[in-house]
Amino acid sequence: MSGFGILRSVATSAAVLAAAAFAAPVAGAQPAAGASEPAAVTELRESADLPQEKDAVEALTRFAGLSDVAGTLTPFFYTAPTIGCGTFAPVTMTLASAQTGPAAGIGVREVNFQALSAYPGVVQGSGLSVAWLNTATGASGIEPLDGTTEGGYPSLSKLVHTGSGTVVAAIFGSVAYSNATCHVLPTVGSFFVPDEGPMPSEATG
């Protein structure tokens, strides 16, 4: 099966799962509790003086897509149901998020995808992957989340050069622990990757 065919299959499975798990439309999703508001949103809010301006900004902040601001951590649409972690936690959840560049450690037109399992244990191996599609350019790919921490442990992350535009992605696969292997069902997200010039340090270098 082609990469695009696999992506379509994964996205379809995730869409069915999302429809079953969530009755509310995705467009009305709210940022995760405790998530910080992007600086661009705060600046927009502070610039609103008139009542109608404040109402308009408040309406914008309720739109989930507004969190897709360069450099901010944006969660996927829903946490991924995670199964098979043994008798201690047979069903748990996995959080997935993405951060777009330019930001520290993330270049222009790049996205850093990452996952965080709720299973209590030290990750021994990553079988997670991200399937992504840039709807503006048609570029796509399936990449393993094979990043590592400074200590050499799997970080469940991957830096991907997606190009600018709207990128839809699905994270899925498995996470291995010393006493269990958890299977992560697909979760999907949508992220806007800005098309900006090089950072000042890159331009002068």
Helical segments of 22-146, H only: 39-47, 51-61
Given a cut of 60, whether residue 120 has pLDDT beyond it is yes
Please tell me which of 104-108, 112-116, 193-197 the model is most confident about, judged by mean pLDDT: 112-116
Contact 157, 99 (CB under 8 A): no
Spatial CA neighbour of 121 closest among 80, 96, 97, 153: 153
How high is the pLDDT of residue 84? 84
Q: Nearest-CA neighbor of 27 among 18, 36, 16, 35?
A: 18
The stretch 48-69 carries a mean pLDDT of 58
Question: What is the band of 20 on the pLDDT scale with cuts at 50, 70, 90?
Answer: very low
Confidence band, pLDDT 50/70/90 cuts, at residue 16? very low
Residue 59: pLDDT band (50, 70, 90) is low
Q: How confident is the model at residue 138 (pLDDT cuts 50, 70, 90)?
A: confident
- Closest among 95, 96, 24, 99 to 62, alpha carbons compared: 24
Judge whether residue 122 has pLDDT over 60.
yes
pLDDT in the model for residue 44: 67
Indicate whether 110 pLDDT > 60: yes
Using alpha carbons, select from 193, 69, 70 the residue that is nearest to residue 137. 193
Which of 7-16, 63-72, 146-155, 157-166 is the least confident region? 7-16
